Amino acid sequence: MGLAPLESQNNFEYWQQHVDYTMDVKMDVNTFNYGGSQKLIYTNNAPEDLERVFYHLFYNAFQPGSEMDVRSSTIADADPRVGNRISKLQKEDFGFINVASLTQNKKPVSYVVVGTVLEVELNEPIKSGESAVFEMVFEGQVPPVIRRAGKNSKEGVALSMAQWYPKIAEYDFEGWHADPYIGREFHGVWGNFDVKLTLDKNYTVGGTGYLQNPNEIGHGYGIKDTKSDSDLLTWHFVAPNVHDFTWAADPNFVHDTLQVPNGPMLHFLYKKSLKRKYKKHWKGLQQPTSEIMQYYSNNVGKYPYKQYSVIQGGDGGMEYGMCTLITGERSFESLVGVTAHEIGHTWFQFLMASNESKHPWLDEGFAEYTCTLIENTILGIETSEPMKRNFDRYFRLAQSGKEQPMSTHADRFVYNAAYGISTYSKGALVLAQLRYIIGEENFWKTLKKYHDKWAFKHPTPNDFIRCAETASGLELDWFLTDWTQTTNTIDYSVKNAVAAAGQTIVTLERIGLMPMPVEVQIVTKDGGLKEYYIPLQMMRGERPLRGSEILLKDWAWAYPEYSFSIDVDPSQIDSITVDVNKSTADINRENNQLKLL
Ligand SMILES: [Zn+2]
């Protein structure tokens, strides 16, 4: 008992489920069939008993007629990587995960496969606070890489094994999240993985988890000291406190390592057969990757694992626990960019594990914003508008008539493009504008608080904004609500400036529905510069003032106009500008400046 903590969800005490997976799996690299056993100890920390559980069987999406297939064939702007490729798959290329048997506490349970979800009726409920042991025998077939995972990627990587095992769905304060696999995926249960993979001894494996038997394996992990006549090797990985387990393997991988000072060991796995220029990029990537790691560790929170792997694989760039799969045939800038983005996800998804289906912007937008900053530093790009691309993309979306609120479920956008721009760019602008609203110092304090409070948990948008509120002392729910749950836009303008007894009365106008505090810059004809700051009344405070900035009275949102007077005659004024630094997503910047003649 006791008072609920201020930042808990729905005013209840925070809790989360827990998993311990032990898997022993064998992969046939010729047929791409695999299978084995999975023992799952599932602990129900929910305040209620559970009578059913659900597993994701992601690979079932890669069969003609699946929801992913049909959605891709019926959406106006399909992801070109998917298109109608699933509908054309032949049987030998189908993806699937078949469950051969399943027991709960040693007794068989009944289950039914519904597309990409396994529905399990429990023999006996898992009581609140208790654990159940599920033992499963399963077999799978790896589809070609169509989306994220699969065999024989376009660049010839043999195995990109994401979303490959029967994965229990998350149950949290909102209940079950047994989402079918249509497009988006991450909301997994935190826990520990112990995974044994047996496959052809010529394959080098990289992925989530620490290798337990490096000297049996070699392959750049250890000095091989055991001889074996077998054509197979068994790789034993342990991954503590993660919510996913991913791996990739290829007989042609180069394996480089680099130690991050005060950080993890980095592993780079990429094809020996890459063209020379690409291989050069992969060598050149290694030092920047160390800098990216240090940037996030210093600015958000220390990287908590001993290892991170950048692995060539998949179909673009995708984040996983302790690793990323990225395509490798890229310009140097693109390779650094994608690596920075995916490493950003270590924090914004693999530590602060928000529900990606419901709030995709909370990880994608934040990864995008932060990676752009570090990427510019590494590539030596100096710009006063680092988020210009994201602003421009958002402006185009907002004016297209195709925008849906960011709070839309990630699978329910009418257009993929609207999902993408909303999630990545408008999502990045959450941070860009929050920095404007609460100020530089409070902004970085917020990210640290968010990490310290929510790493290894499942934060929601409200949990994030509460961190910003406690860091800044300001009320910010209006920002979260308008920016993420509506398509309201920001538009402030300088309406006029009139003379009044040697003074000037400046009138500003709020044209858009979305509120914002306002910064005004006035340049006088003699080159003088005055900066004013108008807090939004509903913030109930103001950000710290900068330099010689002058604090004006609050602007209460409902008033469309706001006037203030300055001690200069209009004839002395050259220009009056709102948001001169282009920090807000003001939808019409044409009316932001008034030039006086
Ligand atoms: Zn991302």
Could you read off the pLDDT of 95-149 as tens digits, one per residue? 999 999 999 999 999 999 999 999 999 999 999 999 999 999 999 999 999 999 9
Could you read off the pLDDT of 244-267 as tens digits, one per residue? 999 999 999 999 999 999 999 999
Model pLDDT, residue 10: 53
Q: How far is the CA of 31 from the centre of ligand 1 (A)?
A: 31
Nearest to residue 17, comparing CAs of 131, 133, 121? 131
Q: How far is the CA of 365 from the centre of ligand 1 (A)?
A: 8
Nearest to residue 429, comparing CAs of 536, 585, 589, 580? 585
Q: How far is the CA of 447 from the centre of ligand 1 (A)?
A: 18
The stretch 484-488 carries a mean pLDDT of 98
The DSSP symbol for 264 reads P
User: Would you call 311 helix, strand, or coil by DSSP?
Assistant: strand
- Distance, in Å, from the CA atom of 532 to the CA atom of 545, rounded to the nearest integer, reads 9
Could you read off the pLDDT of 134-182 as tens digits, one per residue? 999 999 999 999 999 999 999 999 999 999 999 999 999 999 999 999 9
Q: How far is the CA of 366 from the centre of ligand 1 (A)?
A: 9
The answer to whether 327 and 277 have CB atoms below 8 angstroms apart is no
Q: How far is the CA of 367 from the centre of ligand 1 (A)?
A: 6
Nearest to residue 209, comparing CAs of 177, 245, 262, 263? 245
Q: How far is the CA of 335 from the centre of ligand 1 (A)?
A: 14
The answer to whether 54 and 176 have CB atoms below 8 angstroms apart is yes
Handedness of CA 349, 353, 359, 362 (dihedral sign): negative
Residue 6's pLDDT band (cuts 50, 70, 90): very low
Q: How far is the CA of 423 from the centre of ligand 1 (A)?
A: 9
Q: How far is the CA of 72 from the centre of ligand 1 (A)?
A: 20
The DSSP symbol for 249 reads E
- Distance, in Å, from the CA atom of 231 to the CA atom of 3, rounded to the nearest integer, reads 60
The DSSP symbol for 584 reads S
- Is pLDDT above 50 for 32? yes
Q: How far is the CA of 363 from the centre of ligand 1 (A)?
A: 7
- Is pLDDT above 90 for 597? no
The bridge status of strand 265-271 relative to strand 307-312 is parallel
Model pLDDT, residue 411: 96
Q: Which residues contact 501 (CB under 8 A, 6 or more apart)?
A: none
Q: How far is the CA of 354 from the centre of ligand 1 (A)?
A: 13
Number of helices (H) and strands (E), helices first, in the chain?
12, 31
Q: How far is the CA of 582 from the centre of ligand 1 (A)?
A: 25
Q: Which residues contact 171 (CB under 8 A, 6 or more apart)?
A: 17, 44, 46, 50, 53, 177, 189
Q: How far is the CA of 419 from the centre of ligand 1 (A)?
A: 13
Alpha helix segments (H runs only) across 194-266 = 214-217
The answer to whether 62 and 94 have CB atoms below 8 angstroms apart is yes
Question: Per residue, what are the HEC states of 535-562?
Answer: CEHHHCCCCCCCCCCEECCCECCCCCEE
Q: How far is the CA of 368 from the centre of ligand 1 (A)?
A: 7
Q: How far is the CA of 340 from the centre of ligand 1 (A)?
A: 10
Q: How far is the CA of 592 from the centre of ligand 1 (A)?
A: 33
Q: How far is the CA of 349 from the centre of ligand 1 (A)?
A: 9
Q: How far is the CA of 187 from the centre of ligand 1 (A)?
A: 14
Q: How far is the CA of 579 from the centre of ligand 1 (A)?
A: 29
Q: How far is the CA of 176 from the centre of ligand 1 (A)?
A: 24
Q: How far is the CA of 430 from the centre of ligand 1 (A)?
A: 15
Query: How many C-beta atoms surround the C-beta of residue 445 within 10 A?
Result: 17
The answer to whether 419 and 410 have CB atoms below 8 angstroms apart is yes
Could you read off the pLDDT of 521-551 as tens digits, one per residue? 999 999 999 999 999 999 999 999 999 999 9
Residue 227's pLDDT band (cuts 50, 70, 90): confident
For residue 232, give both structure tokens. 């197979």
Q: How far is the CA of 352 from the centre of ligand 1 (A)?
A: 14
The stretch 178-197 carries a mean pLDDT of 94
Q: How far is the CA of 477 from the centre of ligand 1 (A)?
A: 25
For residue 288, give both structure tokens. 């920047």
Helix (H) or strand (E) holding 396: helix 388-400
Could you read off the pLDDT of 548-560 as tens digits, one per residue? 999 999 999 999 9
Model pLDDT, residue 1: 46
Measured CA distances, 155 to 93, 206, 285 (Å) = 18, 17, 18
Q: How far is the CA of 587 from the centre of ligand 1 (A)?
A: 25
The DSSP symbol for 169 reads B
- Distance, in Å, from the CA atom of 144 to the CA atom of 160, rounded to the nearest integer, reads 9
Could you read off the pLDDT of 307-341 as tens digits, one per residue? 999 999 999 999 999 999 999 999 999 999 999 99
Q: How far is the CA of 536 from the centre of ligand 1 (A)?
A: 32
Q: How far is the CA of 428 from the centre of ligand 1 (A)?
A: 11
Q: How far is the CA of 312 from the centre of ligand 1 (A)?
A: 16
Helix (H) or strand (E) holding 38: strand 33-43
Q: How far is the CA of 4 from the centre of ligand 1 (A)?
A: 33
Any idea how long the chain is?
A: 597
HSE on the CB side for 337, CA within 13 Å?
12
264: phi > 0 → left, psi -120 to 50 → alpha, else beta; which?
Answer: beta
Q: How far is the CA of 402 from the centre of ligand 1 (A)?
A: 22
Q: How far is the CA of 342 from the centre of ligand 1 (A)?
A: 6
DSSP sequence for 398-449: HHHT----TTS-GGG-S-HHHHHIIIIIIHHHHHHHHHHHH-HHHHHHHHHH
User: Would you call 256 helix, strand, or coil by DSSP?
Assistant: strand
Q: How far is the CA of 424 from the centre of ligand 1 (A)?
A: 8
Q: What share of the chain is helix, strand, coil (3-state, %, to 5)?
A: 30, 35, 40
Nearest to residue 126, comparing CAs of 23, 15, 20, 41? 41
Q: How far is the CA of 341 from the centre of ligand 1 (A)?
A: 6
Describe the strand order of the beta sheet including 107-108 as a list of residue ranges.
107-108, 96-104, 131-141, 33-43, 18-28, 191-200, 232-242, 210-211
Q: How far is the CA of 343 from the centre of ligand 1 (A)?
A: 9
Q: How far is the CA of 338 from the centre of ligand 1 (A)?
A: 9
Q: How far is the CA of 259 from the centre of ligand 1 (A)?
A: 25
Q: How far is the CA of 150 from the centre of ligand 1 (A)?
A: 19
Model pLDDT, residue 11: 56
Q: How far is the CA of 232 from the centre of ligand 1 (A)?
A: 35
